[in-house]
Chains A and B, each alone.
Chain A
Amino acid sequence: MHTSHQRRSRGSIGLLFGVSTLLAAGAAQAQDLTGTLAKIKETGAIVIGYRDASVPFSYLDGDQKPVGYAFEICNKVADAVKAHLKLSKLEVKLNPVTSATRIPLIANGTVDLECGSTTNNVDRQKQVSFTNTHFLTATRFVAKKSAKLDKIEDLKGKTVVSTSGTTNIRQINEANTARSLGLTILPAKDHAEAFLMVETGRAVAFVMDDVLLASLAAGSKEPGAYAISSEALSAPEPYGIMLRKDDEPFKKVVDAATAALYKSPEGAALYDKWFTKPIPPRGINLNLPMSEPMKKAFASPSDSADPAAY
């Protein structure tokens, strides 16, 4: 309602801006909901974007149903949104996303929450926003043990694969130029496809977040046949759940919900369920107990994109 007001009086934009901010701040009442919250209330549904193969964050289990650590966090957030809007029923709709489609789909309103393994960085914050960090991971590569590749220099002149649309493919491209490695870099649609290219010998190495590499290797036909590089291409970077940019009221609800979850024992239990216990579909155990920076990130939740903040 204050938008039409704004349009009419062009003269005192400053004053009006102040007034409308006040109005927005005071608009906790249901009628004045804006952005995503209003949309959720109107449609009675929230759309969660999930990934095909971001194990154990968001992936398809044996029955091709999405499951995972980030996926569960999103469901908790959906519950919190439902409580906040005092809805008796909230439908949770699911939409598949890939590394390449996730940002446009958040921006164009198809997906409200993206639950996966999306690195929170400054570049992406120009198009989307992130809630509190749910994981920290560095970029490394996985290769067959028989190939004896451990350092980035070892990849010189070889063909490597990474998933298109990720920060990792960007980092390997940058390293390729900066260190004149002469790599052929193939983009794959998703992590499963990329890992398969190493498995079938189309590429010697797959450059990705180390936690995803560990999960993919553990879930492969011969877990013992793969080794992850000791050298990393980046410092551990934060993962966050994506939401639309410039939607403060919604972000506030999501931030509050995730912060409460991470600080509670429930957060630690959720972490343990996916990282230190057997997970579907094959019952593998990733054995990745919470690191010190991760404990810190849970104790004082933050949505900072800066790796140094953790």
Chain B
Amino acid sequence: MFSDFDFKVVLSSLPYVFGTGMVFTVTLTALAATGGIILGTLIAMMRLSGIAVLAWPAKIYVNFMRSLPLVLVIFWFYFLVPYIGQWLTGASRPISVGAFTSALVTFTLFEAAFFSEIMRAGIQSIPKGQTAAAQAIGLSYRQTMATVILPQAFRNMLPLLLTQTIVLFQDTSLVYVISLTDFMGAASKVAQRDGRLVEMYIFAALVYLVICLVASTLVRRLQRRVAIIR
């Protein structure tokens, strides 16, 4: 069945699918994960603040994002981000936003909803007594969060945050629907140009499988180390 499996197609596509595609995928994943975790932490703090005007918008945002398919959100933002930019900067016309920036904004905002749920659980996992103790020694809310609660929450939740980042890494392949050249996009462009779907798609699947397997194994190891400290 693999009689006419053409390895040369895969070989000659390597500089393109890795040099252009994988670089895009990894950069997008790293930046969106960083942005998503920061934004997600802020959202989690809003939800746990006990102040209704902060907690409610945060809750609505999270539930809203989690109810929508990512594909739909990608389409939405690809068309909407320039208008949001116009609105934010008060410019007279939509801001021209590159495809990469648009994808970055989409994934940051979308994944923030998921990261915020993890961080919320993380903050709640710290015993209330610690907050009380911090306040008793005269720390402000900001100091309590920054020096006592959040560092521990991050540490406890690190495995989950990284697992979610692996999910994000896989999800970035969906930029295919707007024709961007991520790893999968690059592979499919070569596949379609050369009519070599079988080779390129199997190759892409293997690359994702190896990267994600290695990453999740490392995360599991880390989990064990973090668990002992706790």
User: Do any CB atoms of chain A lie under 8 A from CB atoms of chain B in the complex?
Assistant: yes
- B197 partner residues in chain A, CB cutoff 8 A: 196, 200
Which residues of A sit under 8 angstroms from B179, Cβ to Cβ? 52, 96-98, 101, 189-190
A189-B177 contact given A39-B96, A108-B94, CB 8 Å threshold: yes
Interface flags, B166-209, vs A, CB<8A=1, else 0: 00000000000111110000100100110101000000000000
B78 within 8 A of A: yes
- Using CB atoms and an 8 Å cutoff, list the residues of chain A in contact with chain B: 35, 39, 43, 47, 52-53, 60, 64, 93, 95-98, 101, 104-105, 108-110, 112, 189-190, 192-193, 196, 199-200, 220-221, 281
Interface string of B61-95 (1 = CB under 8 A from A): 00000000000000000111111001000000111
Q: A96-B181, A101-B178 are in contact. Are A109 and B96 (CB under 8 A)?
A: yes
Give the CA-CA distance A35 to B96 in the complex, in Å.
12
Q: Which residues of chain B are within 8 angstroms of A60 by Cβ–Cβ distance?
A: 189, 193
Identity of the chain A residue whose Cβ is nearest the Cβ of B100 in the assembled complex = A95
Q: Which of B83, B98, B186 contacts A95 (CB 8 A)?
A: B98
CB-CB nearest in chain B for A95 = B99
Asked if residues B189 and A109 are in contact (CB atoms below 8 Å), the reply is: no
Contacts of B79 on A, CB cut-off 8 Å? 101, 104-105, 108
B residues less than 8 Å from A39 (CB atoms) = 93, 96
Contact A96 B99 (CB under 8 A): yes
Question: 13 extra interchain contacts, Cβ-Cβ under 8 A, other than A52-B189, A110-B96?
Answer: A53-B193, A95-B98, A96-B99, A96-B180, A101-B79, A108-B79, A109-B94, A110-B82, A110-B99, A190-B192, A192-B192, A220-B195, A281-B193
Query: B18 near A: Cβ within 8 Å?
Result: no
A68 to B16, CA, bound (A): 21
Residues on the B chain within 8 Å of A200, using CB: 197
Closest beta carbon of chain A to B197's beta carbon, Å: 7
Q: How far apart are the CA atoms of A215 and B82 in the complex, in Å?
A: 35
| Cα A196 to Cα B196 with chains together (Å) | 10
Contacts of B16 in A (CB 8 A): 64
* Minimum Cβ distance to chain A for residue B77 (Å): 11
